[in-house]
A and B are shown apart, each in its own frame.
Chain A
């Protein structure tokens, strides 16, 4: 079945970087965009960025630009999100999700990865 499986929880100190992975299976990896969505504790959903896995073209939300990098490895059907210069406000669950077209709905979601930023 179609799955997005994310890497495990991370605890980081302020100023550090974190890399979260998202492994896709059950479908043709290059046929869907992969997006990242952040959810701070008790808060709503916030779009972080996306990658076109065919040409590796990325697009990021303005507030994360300069701090986030999304990459992909087609040999393992895995997408990575790296967030640098971590702040306590970055403590959140990060989800990967997919969309068939650039502005399509997000039809399958990963299980989420908790990133905790604490001194």
Chain B
């Protein structure tokens, strides 16, 4: 059971918008710790997609955006493309777990 809760799967047609939620608690996201998002294509290492809740690293398309409110965060992908099909993970820090960085369970995005 992950400390951060994500939906196991989401799907959308090309060109559509999808949102992936990441629900935490007052000891992690709600304690103002930053949320980061990673994309993992099949058979590859994860890649940083969003850092510090809303920031995109250089090279990440602006179709990807992040937000945070209260004890939750969201990743939104607009103009869905076939190459976006991947697993997405949120990550933060939990102060109740003695120094632990925590990940969400991951969400599989299927492009229909």
A residues adjacent to B (C-beta < 8 A): 35, 37, 44-47, 50, 59-62, 95, 97, 103-107, 109-112
Contact = CB atoms under 8 A, between A and B. Distances in A.
B52 A95 contact: no
Given A59-B99, A61-B97, A105-B36, 8 more contacts: A44-B89, A45-B106, A47-B100, A62-B97, A62-B98, A95-B45, A106-B38, A106-B91
Interface of B: 2, 33-34, 36, 38, 40, 45-48, 51-52, 57, 87, 89, 91, 93, 97-106
Contacts, number: 60
Nearest to B93: A103
Contacts of B91: 45, 105-106
A33 to B, nearest CB: 10
Contact of B45 (A60, A61, A104, A112): A112
Interface secondary structure of B, over-half rule: strand
7 contacts: A47-B100, A61-B97, A61-B99, A62-B97, A62-B100, A103-B93, A112-B45
Contacts of A110: 45
B36 A44 contact: no
A46 B97 CA distance: 13
